[in-house]
Amino acid sequence: MSQNPKSHIVRGLQRAKYVALLVATSILVAYPDTSTKAAWEDSPKALVDEVWQIVNNEFVDQKFNQVNWLEQRYKLLERKYTNQQQAYQAIRQSLEDLGDPYTRFLEPEEFEELTSQTTGELSGIGIRLTIDDSTSQLTVVEPLENSPAAEAGIKAGDKILRINDKPTSLMSIEQASTEIKGEVGTEVELKISRADKDVFDITLVRAQIELPSVAYTLKREGKFNVGYIKLDEFSSHAAEQMQKAIADLSDRNAQGFVLDLRGNPGGLLFSSVEIARMWMEKGAIVSTIDRKGGNQKFAANGKALTDLPLVILVNRYSASASEILAGALKENKRATIVGTRTYGKGTVQSVHSLSDGSGLAVTIARYYPPSGMDINRKGIAPDIQINISTQKQMELNVNPDLLGTSGDPQYSQAIKILRSNSLNQ
């Protein structure tokens, strides 16, 4: 079944990240007795030192941006912290000294959100929400497939009047989402208004929901069948969703593909490698170099799902894993890149869960496309640059249904390229 690419929400660049399970080597601390040790472990200083140790063991720059990192530890542990917020502030200040915007501290709520994005899962009922422009009411955009909302018969266009008996009239989408999310197995009560039905109440049980990262549809462009795929981010489920999209569109006689990475902030490195292998039969994909000079290389494995013509759309918000994929397919001449220069994030992060539920993202490596070019802060130049005017971009933002249509200049250029390739074959 094809999915509607227009319902997907473009995530912010702050979510660009790569999650890996790494074990940090602890620096031993001597405690005079058991009670002192227990007091230490429960104090904000323990969290501060936990962060310091992870950075000390993993940060890609062994010179720590010319900061005396050992001295930094002494200064941090000399301070008195009366609450966690003071510790959080001290952590942030010390990380800023490293000069790396991607090595950052995440408070518990931020860490929970990031984890949901990278795993591609969250605990909830599985609905996408918007605020109706004409009525200002909280409205269901769509229920997600196989979710509690879909199974209960929630429909696109339903107005949610109350959540757990709280009126939604003054709620933002973020506030409503917070009310709806919760532990798996717990209940959430909704009061719903539907055009052809009286107001009714419904109780749903929260479940673990797989978030769609991929949306796709088959478009008829003149006499040409185009498989249009929108990839929002590289979550842990993105590769399997991409595989399904390519297979379904191929079965429906797609003659070429447009892969839309515009606004995609990145995600998991291994997800980008898996997806590159679906399009490439051979060739290098990416290499990563860690703080010790270790070079890990990734290449195609001879298991491409299609060799049909491919155009990739990018813009300045295409970052990280998006640039790995676009760079690999461009440099192996597997795809034509259309749009504007990408963001330029050439680093890899690991994300750690900390003892109080907060999190830490640490830059652990730099990555390079097959050519070895350093794209950090430079980005990847498209093969064909198509700029979008400010007015047109505002029009696309207001009406995302225009994406992937003749009203989308970059998509229109992609169609011209696919038609030209078809005529030359």
Q: Tens digits of per-residue pLDDT, 103-160? A: 999 999 899 888 888 888 888 999 989 888 888 899 999 898 889 999 999 999 999 9
| Assigned domain for 239 exists | yes
Let me know whether 184 and 263 are in one domain: no
> 240 with 339, same domain?
yes
Q: How many domains are there within the chain?
A: 2
The CATH number given to whatever domain includes residue 416 is 3.90.226.10
The residue among 190, 210, 230 that closes a domain is: 210
In a domain, 408, yes or no: yes
Do 235 and 127 lie in one domain? The reply is no
Looking at the fold, whether 165 and 270 belong to one and the same domain comes out as no
Q: Can you give the pLDDT at residue 113?
A: 86
Residues 220 and 237 placed together within one structural domain of the fold: yes
Instruction: Please give the pLDDT value at position 41.
Output: 56
Mean pLDDT of the chain: 88
> Could you report the per-residue pLDDT of 373-404, keeping only the tens digit for each?
999 999 999 999 999 999 999 999 888 889 99
Predicted TM-score (pTM) of this structure: 0.83
Final residue of a domain: which of 210, 243, 276?
210
Tokens 């050439």 correspond to 346
- Among residues 187, 210, 233, which one ends one of the domains? 210
Task: Answer yes or no: are the C-beta atoms of 264 and 325 closer than 8 Å.
Answer: no
Please indicate, yes or no, whether residues 231 and 206 belong to a single structural domain of this protein.
no
Same domain for 253 and 330? yes
Cα 145 to Cα 127, 197, 295, distances in angstroms: 9, 23, 41
Poorest-pLDDT segment among 167-176, 185-194, 293-302: 167-176
Question: What is the CATH classification number for the domain harbouring 164?
Answer: 2.30.42.10
Does 46 reside within a domain? Answer: no
Which residue matches tokens 């007015």? 391
Known catalytic residue at 345: yes
Residue 375 to residue 347: CA distance in whole angstroms: 9
Query: Which stretch of DSSP H or E encloses residue 353?
Result: strand 347-353
Could you tell me the sign of the dihedral formed by the alpha carbons of 413, 418, 422, 425, in that order?
positive
Note whether 131 and 157 are same-domain residues. Answer: yes
pLDDT of residue 190: 96
Measured N-to-C along each axis, helices 269-279 and 321-331 cross at an angle, to the nearest 10 degrees, of: 30
Q: Which of 272, 320, 322, 358 is catalytic?
A: 320
**Alpha-carbon distance 364 to 348, whole Å?**
6
Q: Which structural domain, as residue segments, surrounds residue 205?
A: 121-210
Q: Is residue 11 part of a domain?
A: no
**104 phi/psi in degrees, rounded to 5:** -150, 155
Instruction: Kindly state whether residues 305 and 158 are assigned to the same domain.
Output: no
In a domain, 36, yes or no: no
Element (H, E) at 138: strand 138-143
**Active-site position among 213, 230, 345, 358:** 345
- The verdict on 276 and 287 lying in the same domain is yes
Alpha helices (runs of H) in 11-131, residue ranges in sequence order: 34-41, 44-58, 69-78, 84-96, 108-119
Q: pLDDT exceeding 70 applies to what percent of the chain? A: 89
The secondary structure element, H or E, covering residue 106 is strand 104-106
In a shared domain, residues 267 and 340:
yes
